[in-house]
Amino acid sequence: MTLPLTATIAATEAPPVMEARRWLEGVTFPPGRPLINVSQAAPMDAPPEGLRKAIAEAALNDPAAHLYGPVLGLPALRAEIAAQWSAAYGGAIAEGEVAITQGCNQAFCAVMATIAGAGDEVLLPTPWYFNHKMWLDMAGVRAVPLPAGAGLIPDAAAAAALLTERTRAIVLVTPNNPGGVEYPAATVRAFYDLARDRGLALILDETYRDFDARSGAPHDLFGDPGWRGTLVHLYSFSKAFRLTGHRVGAIVADAARLAEAEKFLDTVAICPGQLGQIAALWGMRNLAQWVAGERAEILARRAALEKGFATLPGWRLMGCGAFFAYAEHPFDLPSPELARRLVRDAGILLLPGTMFRPAGDPAGAREVRIAFANIGVATIGELVRRLAAFRP
């Protein structure tokens, strides 16, 4: 007997990173050429010792850390985010306009559940973050591709031409996943103006903002007194504090929106994990200098990858920043086949561009994503050498 399966789940693609990991099955990597895994943007090291001690202290001595907490998160963490974000962006954000989630993916799902339902449309610049597309597919929402072009910077005027009576939101990710590019403040403002004028939500995912190469605020939207009702900001503590296993994300939106998102969050998780929130709060209060060092290291890796790719014949680096590089390859192989060949013949695991494009989009067959922040400068050099030596 086969149990029923919903049409939306059946039509949703399998998780790309999990699919790529299956390419490793049956492949051995000699000691002199270990696998270089650049398939996923995840810190490979534990959080700094002070943060781990804070988690351990809470686990041992704070009974409340093991109980249900508020659905929208610990008040102290919400207040800290409100204060720090207000200062960083030159705006005024209240504690009641912040919610904590089990990672940034849950933040996206929660707010999108309040904005778009079956039959609605949401604009996603392509190449897109595949988990955003997967959630929309599961919810029966049509993801409308907005081609970002050769420079991977989407255009608000092009977006305006795609809007219909069914459009509910526009999604931007900056610094971008998968492209790595940092959207200019003018671009972000143009999309905000478009969303505000058309009565849409602008979902701004800034998961990688701590690794932006620019100094100062990347945009001024929170300085606009009218941001509430249009702007929904998403963030993750996973990368800055190496808390991927603790799943701590955040939403900044008007309080009325969060009251609706609370219904979703209470149903899915009841509350975010207490230990992860305690860790995030400790990190915000104590790790600014440490995060600055992490940023400097990521920028050094970015520079090494850009320098290395400049020596690769036929390769074109389309975007590079934060944790990612997005490149066009020179081979007469579609990128899914190339990615599998690179595992076997070069000991490299990366993701093909087809995982970030609509089905049938020919651009994806020529593109790959490299999560270079997972590896050090020396390994980036080895990655470049292996790509230079690879022959299909």
- Looking at the structure, tell me whether residues 112 and 234 fall in a common domain: yes
- Looking at the structure, tell me whether residues 355 and 381 fall in a common domain: yes
Which residue type sits at 110?
A
What are the distances in angstroms from CA 113 to CA 52, 172, 223, 276? Answer: 34, 17, 27, 24
Number of helical (H) and strand (E) elements in the chain, helices listed first? 13, 13
CATH number at residue 309: 3.90.1150.10
- Looking at the structure, tell me whether residues 178 and 283 fall in a common domain: yes
Query: Which residue segment(s) compose the domain that 68 sits in?
Result: 49-287
pLDDT of res. 298: 95
Are the C-beta atoms of 287 and 281 separated by less than 8 Å?
Answer: no
- Local structure of residue 169 (DSSP, 8 states): E
- Looking at the structure, tell me whether residues 270 and 298 fall in a common domain: no
Q: What b/e string do you get for 74-97 counting C-beta neighbours within 10 Å, with b at 16 or more?
A: beebbebbbeebbeebebebebeb
What are the distances in angstroms from CA 332 to CA 304, 338, 366? Answer: 27, 9, 9
Q: Per the domain annotation, does 319 fall within a domain?
A: yes
Under the banding of pLDDT at 50, 70 and 90, the label for residue 385 is very high
Q: Which residue has the higher pLDDT, 229 or 1?
A: 229
Q: Per the domain annotation, does 367 fall within a domain?
A: yes
Q: Does residue 16 have a cis peptide bond before it, meaning omega lies within 30 degrees of 0?
A: no
- Looking at the structure, tell me whether residues 56 and 76 fall in a common domain: yes
Q: Per the domain annotation, does 362 fall within a domain?
A: yes
- Looking at the structure, tell me whether residues 145 and 106 fall in a common domain: yes
Average pLDDT over residues 145-168: 96
289-338 pLDDT tens trace: 999 999 999 999 999 999 999 999 999 999 999 999 999 999 999 999 99
Beta pairing class for 121-126 and 142-147:
parallel
Query: What tokens were used for 152?
Result: 């991977």
- Looking at the structure, tell me whether residues 279 and 299 fall in a common domain: no
Listed residues 239, 259, 287: the one ending a domain: 287
Distance CA 288, CA 290 (A): 5
Q: Per the domain annotation, does 187 fall within a domain?
A: yes
Listed residues 287, 315, 331: the one ending a domain: 287
- Looking at the structure, tell me whether residues 97 and 230 fall in a common domain: yes
Q: Per the domain annotation, does 264 fall within a domain?
A: yes
Distance CA 207, CA 371 (A): 14
pLDDT of res. 303: 97
pLDDT of res. 81: 98
Listed residues 287, 322, 340: the one ending a domain: 287
Distance CA 149, CA 137 (A): 24
pLDDT of res. 312: 96
- Looking at the structure, tell me whether residues 84 and 226 fall in a common domain: yes
Kindly write down the DSSP assignment for every residue of 202-228, as one continuous string. EEEE-TTGGG-SS-S-S--GGGSTT-T
pLDDT of res. 319: 97
pLDDT at 42 exceeding the cut of 90: no
**Burial grade of 168 (CB within 10 A; 0-12, 13-18, 19 or more):** middle
Distance CA 386, CA 348 (A): 8
pLDDT at 180 exceeding the cut of 90: yes
- Looking at the structure, tell me whether residues 226 and 175 fall in a common domain: yes
pLDDT at 392 exceeding the cut of 90: no
pLDDT of res. 196: 97
241-251 pLDDT tens trace: 999 999 999 99
Beta pairing class for 231-236 and 324-328:
unpaired
Q: Which of 36-45, 61-70, 304-313 has the lowest mean pLDDT?
A: 36-45
Radius of gyration from C-alpha coordinates of the chain: 21
pLDDT of res. 202: 98
Cα distance between the two ends of the chain? 45
Q: Per the domain annotation, does 1 fall within a domain?
A: no
Three-class secondary structure of residue 153 per DSSP: coil
Which residue type sits at 48?
P
Q: What own/partner pairs with CB < 8 Å and gap ≥ 24 does 291-296 have?
A: 291/210, 291/240, 291/241, 294/210, 294/211, 294/240, 295/210, 295/211
pLDDT at 3 exceeding the cut of 90: no
254-295 pLDDT tens trace: 999 999 999 999 999 999 999 999 999 999 999 999 999 999
Distance CA 133, CA 188 (A): 21
- Looking at the structure, tell me whether residues 259 and 325 fall in a common domain: no
- Looking at the structure, tell me whether residues 162 and 283 fall in a common domain: yes
Q: Per the domain annotation, does 369 fall within a domain?
A: yes
Provide the mean pLDDT of the chain. 95
Average pLDDT over residues 106-135: 96
Name the percent of the chain lying above pLDDT 70. 100
Q: Which of 7-21, 57-71, 98-112 has the lowest mean pLDDT?
A: 7-21
Average pLDDT over residues 45-55: 94
Under the banding of pLDDT at 50, 70 and 90, the label for residue 90 is very high
CATH number at residue 176: 3.40.640.10
Domains identified in the chain, total number: 2
